[in-house]
Each structure stands twice: as C-alpha cells, then as structure tokens.
C-alpha cells in the first residue's frame, strides 16, 4: 500500500481526534451570572421601655399651655424640674383647651390607660366661666377623684378661682368647693394654681388675663412641684 493510500485511511480518524481536541480545549459556554444575594437586613433595635413612673396632668388650657410655644406649658417645665432634681417620673400631658369637668369625666379611661402613679387634676375653671351650677361641677370632680382612687392612683387637686365680675355669691362657694373636695377625699390641694403669677407682672400673664406666658408657666410649674413633692419617691 502506498503512503498516499495509508494517509487517506487514517484521515477520518485524525479528523475525529481534532474535533475531540477542539471540544475539550475550546472556550467553555458562557454561564449565567449567579443571582445577587441581598444583604441581610439589620433588625431595628427594640424600644427600651421607660421605667419611670407616670404623672398624668389632667386638665384644660392651663395644662395644655394655651398661647405659649410648644414645650413651654407648665407640665413641660415640671418635667424639666423633675429631671433636674433626680425624680424618676415621666409627665404625660392630657390637658385639652376648653375642657370642662364633664369632658374630663368622659375621658378618665384615657388617663388610666397611661397607668399613672399620680394624677394632677386641674379642671373646673371653664365650668365656672360658663356659670355651670356648682353642684354639677362638684359632682363631676368627685366622680373623677373616686375613679382615680379606685384604680390606686394618687391625686393632686389643683384649684382655680374666677374673675371678680362673677360676684362673691358664686366665687366664694366655687373656691370653697375645692377645699371641701380635698378634705373629703384626703387629697393634697393647690387652692389657686395661678397664685404665684396672677397680678404679679405683665410678663407673667397673657393679654386675656387668664393664661400664663411661658415665663409664667415656669413659675406655675414651681408652684405645682412644691405641692407634688410629698407624693414623689426617689
């Protein structure tokens, strides 16, 4: 057999070997990129419960800080004073401008939901300004005091008085009502919440003669703190 014939016989095998070598040594088929894995999200830290006992200020516009900038109500200043003196209490301000004793009576459950150790009860002024019968005001305040005491809450009762034009026949029994309630239910009393600011300087009261300025509210907070201290624990 000639050399040419032998070459032709081996040619198919050589072609197959070349194809196999090309298949093994050629470029690999492109593979799809692996899907991106999103980084594990960092869980939000759990809110740390505030261990301080709660004092609810349960009142009307005098508690709400009517006419003063946010953060300048007397409960705001009271919180700062408590913090400064190291008393572990947190103020919850539930003052609502325009509220009356009947309104307060309807929202006792809201105050109790805050689980207060102490309630500063500051209502009745708007009732008096509207000339509500004293028996109604007294009854509403009494029911609020009883409701809080039944829940084991200690109370500081904040009294108020009325402008002279309401006449002594209404004002005197109105003022006496707070003293009698405090005595009947054995709760401490601030006879007149604004005693340290009323008629003591134009910069302490707003133009309406009813609501303190921010500076006045800071003084009122001091008045409240003095009466509140016997109820506090460090």
**CA pair distance 50, 90, nearest whole angstrom:** 8
State the catalytic residue, choosing from 60, 63, 76, 211.
Answer: 211
Q: Which helix (H) or strand (E) holds 137?
A: helix 134-150
In contact, 158 and 224? CB cutoff 8 Å: yes
Structure-block tokens of residue 113: 């939901």
Q: Verify whether residue 196 is a known catalytic residue.
A: no
**CA pair distance 59, 190, nearest whole angstrom:** 14
In contact, 119 and 63? CB cutoff 8 Å: no
In contact, 214 and 72? CB cutoff 8 Å: yes
β-pairing, 154-158 vs 116-122, is: parallel
CB neighbours of 233 closer than 8 A, spacing ≥ 6? 53, 87, 88
State the catalytic residue, choosing from 60, 61, 63, 127.
Answer: 61
Q: Verify whether residue 186 is a known catalytic residue.
A: no
In contact, 124 and 58? CB cutoff 8 Å: no
Coil, strand or helix at 216: helix
Residue 156, CA distances (Å) to 36, 139, 140, 165, 234 in order: 63, 17, 16, 28, 18
Q: Verify whether residue 69 is a known catalytic residue.
A: no
**Positions marked catalytic:** 61, 208, 211
């Amino acid at each position: 057999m000639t050399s040419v014939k032998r070459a032709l016989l081996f040619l198919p095998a050589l072609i197959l070997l070349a194809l196999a070598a090309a298949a093994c040594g050629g470029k690999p088929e492109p593979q799809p990129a692996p899907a991106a894995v999103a980084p594990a999200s960092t869980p939000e830290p759990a809110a740390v419960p505030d261990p301080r006992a709660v004092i609810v200020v349960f009142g009307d516009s005098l508690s709400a800080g009517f006419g003063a900038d946010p953060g300048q109500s007397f409960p705001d200043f009271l919180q700062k004073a408590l913090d400064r003196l190291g008393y572990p209490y947190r103020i919850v301000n539930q003052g609502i401008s325009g509220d009356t004793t009947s309104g307060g009576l309807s929202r006792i459950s809201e105050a109790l939901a805050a689980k207060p150790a102490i309630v500063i009860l500051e209502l009745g002024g708007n009732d008096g300004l509207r000339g509500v019968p004293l028996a109604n005001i007294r009854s509403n305040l009494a029911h609020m005091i009883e409701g809080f005491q039944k829940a084991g809450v200690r109370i500081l009762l904040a009294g108020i008085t009325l402008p002279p034009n309401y006449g002594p026949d209404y004002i005197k029994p109105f003022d006496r009502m707070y003293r009698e309630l405090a005595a009947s239910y054995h709760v401490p009393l601030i006879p007149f919440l604004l005693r340290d600011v009323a008629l003591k300087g134009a910069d302490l009261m707003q133009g309406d003669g009813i609501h303190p300025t921010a500076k006045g509210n800071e003084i009122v907070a001091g008045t409240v703190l003095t009466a509140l201290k016997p109820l506090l624990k460090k």
